[in-house]
Structures are given as structure tokens and as C-alpha cells.
């Protein structure tokens, strides 16, 4: 399929899909394939293409194992995965924005998944309805995950590579989004869970903080501080041992050629070594590494001069112990154990963050999402439960235990939520209708 809306980027022309009120451009490369000599190295510019790129299908997901949150979100079996072609982004723009002279605000949104799983190309995060509801341009981007993105081995170039990928995507947006009808001076950086953690990093790091005017943080795990470099180093050493590789620079060429399935298997073993129920993954952004040159949450808030929308679900913690489909015990989701777990990772840090913002003269918009699937009251409003509503993509989550059967009130809530997000991206204010 080659007919459709056409846009010219710095890498070449792209042909998207006409969805009526919205045009979609999927699977646009923003960096060179991170393979061969570029594996475990910083993202490099894409060489571009001749002719027109058919941007009508999302790029492959970064190779990954099944998410530990499948028990609440549902499975993504059958997802195409490949390191080659994985550093891509997707753009949804109001149809008029591609042709008229009025530039629309932009939301660059980063998926969650504990820095270990997820893909911007999944229909869960399709931005068409959100773009239409808000009259905004929506962008989602892949970034490297698990060891591919967060192995701490600066001597060979492995330095918070996932964050560097996100920064590269953001710079691509700044350089190209006008062609899609976007106004880069009115850009919101947003995300959920690990994506929110990343959005905060991008909004605070001196190298990228000027690229966004607003920030939208969903279920940020404020209680997980950036990894200590010495701890990250030991984790890297353990992974190298599991792979049978030397614990120094001699491992570099072997790391760049080890089959990705072996890498994922070793990462799974690394995960299994950690404590049961631990929220932090084995590898995630490291303090003082690329993209993490700032003090964490409350201190960052005092220096954050942006419009802020921040919030969480009412019962975040139940998602992390909901495996097997068995109803959760011990008074979930409102028992003291669950409230304490949610507060420790999500709630207390959020309160400190918004308190610091307010003390610094800011006026953050704060929310708590509390819609519960009546068929699974033990889950409560668990981690990720707000995602179907933010994107108004309820049907994409069919069968997800956190959602359950969709009723008319749910569809109305999804319209209200996506419209409110659009309001924030446009104006910096939130109003539920």
C-alpha cells in the first residue's frame, strides 16, 4: 500500500495512512539499527532512504520476554520482534494539520514496562483517538530495553542507552514534526511507569530539558531511585558471568555477537535472583550516567519550570503480585499491606514531588485514577489500569483482567480522559467534562 498522505522528513519522504480525521505515520526510523558494531553503543543518525518510505506499519518491538504484568494487562503473544528496525517512532496527526498552516501542540509519549518490555507500536498505545480528541499531534517511540538498553558498561559505550534512544527520538521530533503539523514550541513529554520515569529524566537533564514545555507523568515509580553505579557494575558482572564472558572490555565483541535469545535467557536468570515481588528491574537508568545528571524527584521538582500533570492509580501495587489469575489475599486492594506497598513505590514520592513543585511556585495538576473492574475487585485500580482510558483504546485491551467488561460509563470515561489529556497538551490545564 503506497497511497496515502505524504510528508518530507530530514531522512526522506514518508507515506502514511489516511484514517479520516487523523493521518497515521508508523514505523519511521529515528536512528540507525542498533546491530553489529552499534549494539551496546549510543544511537547513531539514520542514513536515510531514497524515494518514499511506506510508513503504514509499526516497526518491530525490541526483542523481549513476556511482561510480568500479563496477569493484569493481557498477553502480547505474536508481537514481531527484532533488533534491526526497532528504533522507530509513530506519529498521529489531525488530517488538517498536515495541510493547513496552523501548527498543533505535540505529545511525545513513552511506554512503560519496567525498562524490560513494551513497544510503542502496540495497539494499546495507538494515538489516533487521542490526536483527534485533543486536536494534537501524538508521537510514540521505541527504545532499547533490559540489557540491550540498560547494561552498565560505559567502557564499551553502554551508558543508559535506552535514555539516549529516547533523547534521540525527541531530537528527531524537534527537527521534523513541523512537517506533520506539529508545533515544537508546545511539546509535552509524557509517559507511564518506566516511561514516566524517563519523561522526568528528559525534562530535567540539561541536554534535553529545553525540548519540552510540559510534562505528563502517569504512575511514576518515584520510590525507585536511579541505580547506584557500583551496584549496576556488579549486576553487569553477574550477567557477564551468566553468559560465560569475561568481566571486562574483552567481553565487548562477544556481547555484540551473542544471540539475543541467549541474552534474554541470561537476563531472565538475573531477574530470578532478585527478591520475590521486587518492583525494580535488574537493569534500569543509572545515576550520573547519560540522561541522569540531576538530583532525583523532590530536588528535581524544585528546578522544573514546566506545566505538570502527574498522578497514579489508587491501588498500583496489586499488579506486581497478581500472577496466576488467583484472587489476591490479605484484604487486597485496600488492606494495610497493599496501601503501604503502593505508597512506598508510587505515593510517597509523588506527594514529595508535588509538594516541592508547589513550594517552588508551581501549580501541578494531580489525579488519582480509581475505576475498578467489578469482576476483579481484588485488583482494585491497579498499575496500568488508566492506560485504556488515556488513549481511549478500550477495545485493544479486550480480556485484560484490569479492565473487564466495558460498559457505557467506561466509554464515556475514556472520552473524558483523552479529552482532558488533550486539554493539558494544548493549554497546560486540565478540565474533565
Asked about 46 being catalytic, the answer comes back as no
* Active-site residue, selected from the candidate residues 46, 297, 365, 383: 383
Q: What is the CA radius of gyration of the chain?
A: 21
Angle between helices 194-204 and 161-176 (to 10 degrees): 70
Residue with the three cell numbers 498521529: 92
Asked about 210 being catalytic, the answer comes back as no
- What would you measure as the largest C-alpha separation in the chain, in angstroms? 61
- What φ, ψ does residue 339 adopt, rounded to 5°? -60, -40
SS (HEC) of 55-67: CECCCCECCCCCC
Burial class for 354, CB neighbours closer than 10 Å (0-12, 13-18, 19+): buried
104-142 residues labelled b (16+ CB within 10 A) or e (exposed): bbbbbbbbbbbbbbbbbbbebbbbbbbbbbbbbbbbbbb
* Active-site residue, selected from the candidate residues 316, 317, 365, 418: 316
Share in percent of the chain as helix, strand, coil (round to 5): 40, 15, 45
* Active-site residue, selected from the candidate residues 67, 193, 219, 418: 193
Asked about 117 being catalytic, the answer comes back as no
User: Contact at 8 Å (CB) between 197 and 310?
Assistant: no
- Return the active site residues: 193, 316, 383
Amino acid at each position: 500500500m503506497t497511497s496515502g498522505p505524504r510528508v518530507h522528513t530530514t531522512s526522506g519522504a514518508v507515506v502514511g495512512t489516511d484514517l479520516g480525521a487523523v493521518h497515521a505515520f508508523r514505523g519511521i526510523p529515528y536512528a540507525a539499527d542498533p546491530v553489529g558494531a552499534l549494539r551496546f553503543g549510543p544511537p547513531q543518525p539514520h542514513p536515510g532512504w531514497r524515494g518514499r518510505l511506506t510508513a503504514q506499519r509499526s516497526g518491530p518491538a525490541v526483542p523481549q520476554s513476556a511482561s510480568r504484568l500479563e496477569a493484569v494487562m493481557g498477553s502480547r503473544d505474536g508481537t514481531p520482534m527484532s533488533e534491526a528496525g526497532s528504533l522507530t517512532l509513530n506519529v498521529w496527526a489531525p488530517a488538517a494539520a498536515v495541510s493547513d498552516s496552523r501548527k498543533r501542540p505535540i505529545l511525545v509519549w513513552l511506554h512503560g514496562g519496567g525498562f524490560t518490555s513494551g513497544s510503542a507500536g502496540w495497539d494499546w498505545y495507538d494515538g489516533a483517538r487521542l490526536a483527534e480528541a485533543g486536536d494534537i499531534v501524538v508521537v510514540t517511540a521505541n527504545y532499547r530495553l533490559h540489557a540491550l538498553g540498560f547494561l552498565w558498561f560505559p567502557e564499551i559505550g553502554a551508558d543508559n542507552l535506552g535514555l539516549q534512544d529516547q533523547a534521540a527520538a525527541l531530537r528527531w521530533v524537534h527537527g521534523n514534526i513541523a512537517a506533520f503539523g506539529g508545533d515544537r514550541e508546545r511539546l509535552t513529554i509524557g509517559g507511564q511507569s518506566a516511561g514516566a520515569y524517563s519523561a522526568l529524566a528528559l525534562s530535567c537533564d540539561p541536554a534535553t530539558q529545553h525540548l519540552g514545555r510540559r510534562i505528563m507523568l502517569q504512575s511514576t515509580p518515584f520510590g525507585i531511585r536511579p541505580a547506584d553505579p557500583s551496584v549496576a557494575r556488579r549486576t553487569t558482572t553477574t550477567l557477564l558471568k551468566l553468559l560465560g564472558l569475561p568481566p571486562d572490555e574483552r567481553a565487548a565483541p562477544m556481547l555484540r555477537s551473542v544471540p539475543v535469545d541467549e541474552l534474554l535467557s541470561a537476563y531472565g536468570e538475573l531477574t530470578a535472583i532478585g527478591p520475590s515481588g521486587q518492583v525494580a528491574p535488574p537493569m534500569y537508568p543509572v545515576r550520573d550516567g547519560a540522561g541522569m545528571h540531576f538530583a532525583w524527584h523532590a530536588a528535581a521538582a524544585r528546578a522544573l519550570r514546566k506545566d505538570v500533570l502527574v498522578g497514579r492509580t489508587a491501588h498500583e501495587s496489586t499488579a506486581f503480585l497478581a500472577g496466576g489469575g488467583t484472587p489476591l489475599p490479605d484484604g487486597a486492594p485496600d488492606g494495610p499491606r497493599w496501601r503501604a506497598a503502593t505508597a512506598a513505590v508510587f505515593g510517597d514520592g509523588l506527594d514529595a514531588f508535588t509538594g516541592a513543585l508547589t513550594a517552588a511556585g508551581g501549580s501541578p495538576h494531580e489525579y488519582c485514577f480509581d475505576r475498578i473492574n467489578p469482576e476483579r475487585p481484588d485488583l482494585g485500580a491497579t498499575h496500568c489500569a488508566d492506560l485504556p482510558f488515556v488513549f481511549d483504546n478500550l477495545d485493544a485491551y479486550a480480556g485484560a483482567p484490569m479492565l473487564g467488561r466495558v460498559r457505557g460509563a467506561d466509554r464515556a470515561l475514556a472520552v473524558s480522559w483523552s479529552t482532558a489529556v488533550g486539554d493539558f497538551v494544548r493549554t497546560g490545564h486540565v478540565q474533565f467534562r
